[in-house]
Amino acid sequence: MSKSDSLDSLTQIVLGASVGEAVLGKKAGNKALLYGAIAGTIPDLDVLFGKLTDTVTAIEWHRGISHSLVFCIFMSPLLGWLVNKIERKLNLGWKLWSILFFWSLVTHPLLDAFTSWGTQFLWPFQTRIAFNSIFVIDPLYTVPFLVCTLLVLRYKKESKTRRRLNNTGLVISTSYLFITLIIKSIATFKFEQELQKQGIAYTEISTRPSALNTILWNANIDTPDYYLMGEYSFFDSKPIHFNKFPKERAVSKELNAYSKVQRLIAISEGWYIIEKKDEDWYFNDLRFGLIPRKDGSSFFVFSYLLKDQDGKLEVSEVPKTDRDAKFLMQRLWKRLKGN
């Protein structure tokens, strides 16, 4: 598990704990926090199941059925029944525990729906809900939850201060989550305005925040022959610069015959480039942007090596081994302060 995955898990644990406290904290005390935190991690167990299958199927499963409303409805009474057996001394009944598990489970995919990957919340329908308004890790969302949840532990379950602290964390973080939608609309307008100024005709635009903040935004712009990628900080004073990435669909046309390539195209929602490097083909998912290197070059966050093995296509994710955390943080800080 990467550091970003660990921090994302921390966010979901704190969210689940806070929701568990809000639902049943007055009756179950710290055990409501505990079981809420456990519920907050359950949907992400799809990652473990993904390790048992091929790369493409694992990507399709990620934030799929385990992040759906159907899953939450099905699992909550089972978990409620199980915990009621374990915590029979509390004599709360399986229904109250089921309500805790439902809300702690369902808030997980609802939060993930605001990120770039999104969720199949309405599974079995295949459409992913992705508002692209918050990065998978954002301190302004997580920290209020974390601080308030830790403070909650200092008070007894009957304490009004305990409930007030927990509600404060929920209100602050949830309010910020919805504020990101407003920030996104402003950033998108800035990109559209700049495209108009530069006389660039396009068919679609997709915007998302950069890592750890909602000040610096990235955009993908679709045109008939190429994609444009640009970034904008609310502190920028210069025009937005867009980098071109030719589609060159005809060059990789033969690869489209493979079902796995078609599935990758569906996963990327059409935001992709297939390119050849040193006799190898790579599928690049544009939705998550680029990672810069010290030498001025960059590489796609999600890139997949395509290998034809005796007529069967093998797909493997390219490891992100070139990441320099210190350089990336310095570059991010410098860039979000404006160009």
How far is CA 125 from each of CA 17, 69, 74, 118, rounded to the nearest angstrom? 29, 11, 17, 14
Residue 201's Cβ-count burial label (10 Å; 0-12, 13-18, 19+) is exposed
Residue with tokens 């309010």: 175
* 292, containing H or E segment: strand 280-292
Give the N- to C-terminal CA distance of the chain in Å, as an integer: 34
Backbone torsions φ then ψ of 148, nearest 5 degrees? -65, -40
How far is CA 314 from each of CA 119, 124, 255, 271, rounded to the nearest angstrom? 26, 27, 12, 21
Residue 206's DSSP bridge partners are: 220
pLDDT tens series, the chain, 339 aa: 455 555 678 899 999 999 999 999 999 999 999 999 999 999 999 988 888 899 999 999 999 999 999 999 999 999 999 999 999 999 999 999 999 999 999 999 999 999 999 999 999 998 899 999 999 999 999 998 899 999 999 999 999 999 999 999 999 999 999 999 999 999 999 999 999 999 999 999 999 999 999 999 999 999 999 999 999 999 999 999 999 999 999 988 889 889 999 999 999 999 999 999 888 999 999 999 999 988 888 999 999 999 988 878 999 999 887 678 899 999 999 999 999
Q: Is the dihedral of CA 329, 48, 149, 151 positive or negative?
A: negative
Give me the count of residues in the chain.
339
Domain boundaries, the chain: 3-180, 190-336
